[in-house]
Amino acid sequence: MTISNLQPPILKPNTVWEPNVWVPASWEEFVAISESPDQAKSSCYYYQHRMRIETMGVGPNHAIDNTLITLAIGLFCMANSIPVRGLTNASYRRTVSDEAQPDLSYYFGDKISSIPETNSLLDLQSIAPPDLAIEIAASSLSDDLGTKRSLYEELGVSEYWVVNVETGSIVAFSFQANNTQILTSLVLPGLELSILEQALRDRSTQDDSQIMVTLLKQFQG
């Protein structure tokens, strides 16, 4: 273990931090900044004594892909009688250690009952981590595939997807299978990610209802 792991760096008073960049910070500094009203529309991450305050995607492509993935996962679970609970922009915290705020996250089966009815951050010291975390990557692709991938593995998430808004592709990893890249979901057995990729690409020529009709036929087939 290195000295930096033992002694987290501290930001100097009045240090100017940049959005969308990992910067050294103590846990106390991160909490103070991430919970301030100014960051109400930001996604906040903390990992290995660094914080990243990320501006949320506001463009239509990011929003459309977020909606399509949400609808598609719900449709797949309905067609296959899989109990599901989806969360949008929920924050998962392990105090003094890690925090992540994925665009989408999911619990399946019996784990749904562990989600508390609260508007507070989800404390991973008292509840299980989500089965699936998803980042919709418009301008944060390299970080989503890099540092955040390590962060979600550390948090105990079972499966992690990165949706590339520019290409309509999905890069997925199973942490249950030694951080292996996968083409078919393990937490949603039988769901081939190529089917979702085609749905994402179809958004340029079809509306959501047309895409869902096609998906439903595939999921029921």
pLDDT tens-digit series, residues 159-198:
999 999 999 999 999 999 999 999 999 999 999 999 999 9
**Other C-beta atoms within 10 Å of 168: how many?**
19
CB-count exposure of residue 202 (10 Å: 0-12, 13-18, 19+): middle
* CA-based torsion, 128, 134, 140, 142: positive or negative: positive
If we measure between CA atoms, which residue out of 191, 170, 208 comes closest to residue 60?
208
pLDDT tens-digit series, residues 77-108:
999 999 999 999 999 999 899 999 999 999 99
Asked whether 165 and 139 are in contact (CB, 8 A), the reply is: no
CATH architecture of 58-220: Alpha-Beta Complex (3.90)
pLDDT tens-digit series, residues 140-149:
899 999 999 9
| pLDDT of the residue at 221 | 78
List where CATH 3.90.1570.10 sits in the chain. 58-220
**Other C-beta atoms within 10 Å of 179: how many?**
12
